[in-house]
Structure 1
Amino acid sequence: MARSELYQFKHGDKQWFFTSARKAITHNEITYYPVRGLSRGNIEDADIDKCEVELTFPHPYPLFNDADDSFTQVFLNKIYLESVYFTLIELDAGESLVLFKGRVTQPKFSDRENTMTLVCSTAESFMRRKILTRKYQRTCPNTIYDKHCGLDFNEWSFDVTVTSVNGLDVAYMVNPTQVKDEFGNPVFEQVPVLDEQGQPVLDDLGSPIFEDGDPMMEIKSYPDNWLNRGVLKKDGVFTFIINGGSNSARLYRQHIGLKLGDVVRVAPGCDQSLKMCHEKFNNHKRFGGHPNMPTENPLENQLIK
């Protein structure tokens, strides 16, 4: 078997598998599909802080997975929250070796050469980057639902069914959810326990005994602005919601693959103020801003003369 290279890509829950070989290759029960014109540059690892490789795909070119998800379309819009992870495998005589593992950091399109070039970097390059640290500011620097914010996305989000998609505007219908009591426990219909004769079974006090039946469901309602600066999640990919109306939301960018009838999860957002953090989420103890900081620098205009 000739030496060949396998290309794995992962974006949220979606995956794509390609190869630069002329024919499809099956490895570890995964089929890698050939892409004519797929090539890569040398793996640049001049120092320990940086390791990159550039992949070149023909463009336009039909790049799809088994679920008919377009690979190229992921890079036609700004990637938000979820990166595209890449693994390069060399296959030789049935033996495999991982040559590179990282994520796509920059897509580049060339209309002159009809190519799409993906710049991929390893984790070391991200760890050594010089980035802006947390600032001394009035508003909260945390991103909602991250480890610093502390809010649980699964607890605050809810299921909706998409009823229309018009560009960046998405309309939806809130799905029924199970009723919970004051302690947060799910509520079920209470069904009396019957004996063999169909008579209610009584406890020691002579009262009927009940058991849980079907869950009690309800359709909750939310204020028009509840989803402002929130997020929409589908297939493991998050998209920022600019603002929300009555059963509608406007997205920051197009969510790849979002279509009529999809059931997705949406969660409310925050304007990073202490007031909203407290009143909307009761999460003021984790607020990371400094709302009472002075408006003027005391070192410049409050020195004692």
Structure 2
Amino acid sequence: MSWNQFEYSTNNGKPLTLYEFVHNEQKYYRYTNADRNVEFNNAIWFSEAISNTGLSVGSGNNLEITLPSASKVVHIFRGVPPTKPVVIKMYQLHENDNEFRVIWIGKIQEVKRESIEKARLITASVASSFERNGLRLTYGRSCPYALYDHNCQIRQSNYKFANEIIALDGANITVNPSNVMSGYFSGGYMEYYIDDIQELRGLKSHIGNSIGVLGGTQGLQKGMKINLYPGCDKTIKTCNEKFNNHLNYGGQPHIPGVSPFTIVKLF
């Protein structure tokens, strides 16, 4: 019997929904709303009290997913959210049928704790992202490029400082001496790994051996190996003196202070 025959049958249809959460294209969490674990596509989908609001007209193809707060997916979003979005794939199939349909693909935007035992995932579909306006490059005195991107052309590997956290207080981390001046890492970021998954955290301040971390130090621990990368304040002076990269500077530091569209009365 084909999928359509199961789907439209009033007696034989036994619909199951499978939820696949993918963290950083490395770690998979698979759940089903069935009353027992399901083996599908060479993987085990664990039975869970999981449901969704369904798709409706005017919702922008977005939906909300409710599941227990003890779920490993919810744990990922405790404290600072993961660096890369967690992708969701939903499959629809019928019991005793090998044919299936991919009914929805999206990403988790936010996790809300509904109660002690229940959490709600606020998601956005991939289709909704097609309706967003694209970015437009504008002219200004400061550089519009992101540090280390293809426009900036600085190789971040040349500026990596391998280090170790020797202390932390909830807002700042203390590292070993790096022989760099205070402020060198301000606006930069740190790189670390948890369960072999790369995570990034922005740095807001750098004074001596103390570095302020955006979002606090939750998830970090003493003795953790990290990589530090310096930041940039988007000025031509820093681009030249700190990175020797002024030829790739994307700003226009010599823009006149008077707009050509401003009416100036000479007499």
Q: So what's the TM-score if we normalise by structure 1?
A: 0.68
Paired with 1:261 and 1:139, the residues of 2 have a C-alpha distance of 38
Residue matched to 1:286 = 248
Shift in Å at residue 57 of structure 1?
A: 2.4
Shift in Å at residue 100 of structure 1?
A: 1.8
Residue matched to 2:179 = 221
1:154-208: per-residue Cα shift (whole Å, max 9, x none)?
332232222233213122347xxxxxxxxxxxxxxxxxxxxxxxxxxxxxxxxxx
Residue matched to 1:63 = 71
* 1:300 has 2:258 as partner: no
Residue matched to 2:55 = 43
Shift in Å at residue 23 of structure 1?
A: 2.9
Q: What fraction of aligned residue pairs are identical, expressed as a percent?
A: 23
Q: So what's the TM-score if we normalise by structure 2?
A: 0.77
Paired with 1:27 and 1:153, the residues of 2 have a C-alpha distance of 42
> What number of residue pairs does the alignment pair up?
248
Paired with 1:247 and 1:82, the residues of 2 have a C-alpha distance of 28
Shift in Å at residue 97 of structure 1?
A: 3.2
Letter in 1 for 2:151: H
**Cα distance change on mapping 1:144 and 1:224 into 2, 3 Å:** same
Residue matched to 1:86 = 88
C-alpha contact 1:21 1:34 (8 A) present in aligned 2: yes
State which structure, 1 or 2, has the greater radius of gyration over its C-alpha atoms: 1
Structure-to-structure mapping, 1:65-144, within 5 angstroms = 71-77=73-79, 79=81, 82-92=84-94, 93-110=97-114, 114-122=118-126, 124-130=127-133, 133-144=136-147
Letter in 2 for 1:221: N
C-alpha contact 2:53 2:63 (8 A) present in aligned 1: yes
Structure 1 segments (4+ residues) deviating >6 Å: none
DSSP-derived class of the 1:105 partner: strand
Shift in Å at residue 271 of structure 1?
A: 0.8
Structure 1: where are the runs of 5+ without partners?
65-70, 175-219
Paired with 1:236 and 1:166, the residues of 2 have a C-alpha distance of 23
Residue matched to 1:163 = 166
**Cα distance change on mapping 1:278 and 1:24 into 2, 3 Å:** farther
DSSP-derived class of the 2:61 partner: strand
C-alpha contact 2:77 2:111 (8 A) present in aligned 1: yes
Paired with 1:15 and 1:166, the residues of 2 have a C-alpha distance of 32
Residue matched to 2:30 = 17
Shift in Å at residue 109 of structure 1?
A: 4.3
**Cα distance change on mapping 1:249 and 1:94 into 2, 3 Å:** farther
Shift in Å at residue 102 of structure 1?
A: 2.2
DSSP-derived class of the 2:133 partner: coil
DSSP-derived class of the 1:299 partner: coil
Shift in Å at residue 127 of structure 1?
A: 3.2
Shift in Å at residue 80 of structure 1?
A: 7.2
C-alpha contact 2:182 2:207 (8 A) present in aligned 1: yes
1:92-121: per-residue Cα shift (whole Å, max 9, x none)?
434443222221234444459954232222
Letter in 1 for 2:90: L
* 1:253 has 2:211 as partner: no
C-alpha contact 2:168 2:217 (8 A) present in aligned 1: no
Structure-to-structure mapping, 1:189-268, within 5 angstroms = 221-234=179-192, 235-254=197-216, 257-268=219-230
* 1:32 has 2:45 as partner: yes
Residue matched to 1:5 = 17
